[in-house]
């Protein structure tokens, strides 16, 4: 396993990480969750991603039970939570990025994960109802209290991230270090164009999610996703609507054929393609079965096959390379 720096920070993060979205406390049994974390940790993965909203807090409880049972040295792994959506009944004070919810959600995540501090704490979405100054101050104070080490954002615009940094600079506070955006062969704009300048100006790190477009890039769902797939879950209708388009079906079909030509599997192909972007700090993997995770963890072994010529041919298939503004 290779390790990259999380943006401008000095934190080494494994280039492949493991997340619990949809799976822990939901799709899979707890013993499977434990085995998956074992496989990841033994392979050198040091970042485990979670959030208050995942399975309404159950995901963090399951991960916390596993971490306690394993008794891995606390300085050997990175664990995260995210704040915004809430984990329980959605009364007004139980969601958002106001100081009360940020602090309460952090305390609750610490209890569920059974750790003394969070390595990474993400603002899961921007909050239009809360002044950005309040959010930045709240995160800064949690760092000073020793409850979190680094804070960041998820699915924020470049403008919103820069506003947070401007507030941090104005008041001499600690600004966001990382962003967690969706990134894969079909979803590229934010990571490749929108954030381009802030990689340079503030040293943004990225912990990207959905490298396989919720399994769509594997190529098994070219006709209709099976009933058990993520893209058939009612709560993910917004995602399937974006992905299940006729043009995308043709693109994935052509990618599947090209992967066969160069002798790689589609799961490894999709993950390795994300890793080729130097602005990606880590690719978050998900799995419901041990063999799925074992396969994607080997994605780094095919990086040498993604030569400049191969990457160029991928672009001819995708036909979706984001264009930078002409200024």
The 3-state secondary structure of the chain, one letter per residue: CCEEECCCCCCEEECEEEECCCHHHHHCCHHHHHHHHHHHHHCCCCEEECCCCHHHHHHHHHHHHHHHHHCCCHHHCEEEEEECCCCCCCCHHHCCCCHHHHHHHHHHHHHHHCCCCEEEEEECCCCCCCCHHHHHHHHHHHHHCCCEEEEEECCCCHHHHHHHHHHHHHHCCCCCCEECCECECCECHHHHHHCHHHHHHCCCEEEEECCCCCCHHHCCCCCCCCCCCHHHCHHHHHHHHHHCCHHHHHHHHHHHHHHHHHCCCHHHHHHHHHHCCCCCCEEEECCCCHHHHHHHCCHHHHHHHCCHHHHHHHHHHHCCCCCCCCC
The whole-number pLDDT of residue 184 equals 97
The whole-number pLDDT of residue 44 equals 98
The whole-number pLDDT of residue 23 equals 86
Per the structure block, which two tokens stand in for 9? 């920070």
The whole-number pLDDT of residue 68 equals 96
Q: Are 251 and 186 in contact (CB under 8 A)?
A: yes
13 bridge partner residues: 4
The span from the CA of 279 to the CA of 291, in Å, is 28
The whole-number pLDDT of residue 55 equals 92
The yes-or-no answer on residue 3 being catalytic is no
Exposure letters 237-249 (e unless 16+ CB within 10 A, then b)? eebbeebeeeebb
Domain 3-216+265-303 in this protein, CATH class: alpha beta
Angle, helices 266-275/246-262, rounded to nearest 10 degrees: 90
Q: Which of 41, 54, 77, 216 is catalytic?
A: 54
The whole-number pLDDT of residue 89 equals 75
The whole-number pLDDT of residue 61 equals 96
The span from the CA of 187 to the CA of 225, in Å, is 19
Task: Identify the segments of the chain with pLDDT beneath 70.
Answer: 223-246, 327
Count of alpha carbons within 13 angstroms of residue 160, beta-carbon side? 19
Q: What are phi and psi of 150, to 5 degrees?
A: -140, 150
């Amino acid at each position: 396993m290779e390790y990259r720096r999380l943006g401008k920070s000095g934190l080494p993060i494994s280039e492949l990480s493991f997340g619990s979205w949809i799976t822990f406390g939901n799709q899979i049994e707890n013993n499977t969750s434990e085995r998956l974390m074992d496989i990841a940790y033994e392979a050198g993965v040091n970042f485990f991603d979670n959030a208050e909203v995942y399975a309404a807090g159950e995901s963090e409880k399951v991960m916390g039970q596993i971490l306690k049972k394993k008794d891995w040295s606390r300085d050997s792994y990175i664990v995260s939570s995210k704040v915004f959506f809430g984990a329980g009944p959605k009364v007004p004070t139980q969601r958002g990025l106001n100081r009360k919810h940020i602090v309460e959600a952090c305390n609750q995540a610490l209890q569920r994960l059974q750790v003394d501090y969070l390595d990474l704490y993400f603002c899961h979405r921007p909050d239009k109802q809360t002044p950005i100054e309040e959010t930045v101050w709240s995160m800064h104070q949690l760092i000073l209290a020793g409850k979190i080490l680094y804070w960041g954002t998820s699915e924020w615009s470049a403008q919103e991230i820069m506003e947070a940094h401007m507030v941090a600079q104005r008041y001499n506070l600690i600004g966001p270090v990382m962003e967690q955006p969706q990134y894969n062969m079909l979803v590229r704009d934010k990571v490749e164009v929108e954030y381009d300048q802030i990689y340079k100006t503030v040293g943004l790190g990225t912990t990207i999610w959905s490298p396989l477009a919720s399994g769509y890039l594997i190529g098994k769902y070219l006709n209709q996703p099976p009933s058990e797939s993520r893209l058939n879950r009612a709560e993910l209708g917004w995602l399937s609507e974006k992905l299940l388009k006729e043009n995308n079906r043709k693109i994935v079909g052509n990618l599947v054929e090209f992967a066969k030509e160069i002798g790689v599997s589609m799961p490894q192909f999709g993950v390795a393609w994300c890793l080729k972007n130097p602005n990606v700090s880590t690719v978050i993997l998900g799995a419901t079965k041990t063999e799925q995770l074992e396969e994607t963890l080997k994605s780094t072994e095919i990086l040498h096959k993604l030569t400049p010529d191969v990457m160029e041919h991928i672009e001819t298939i995708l036909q979706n390379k984001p264009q930078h503004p002409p200024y």
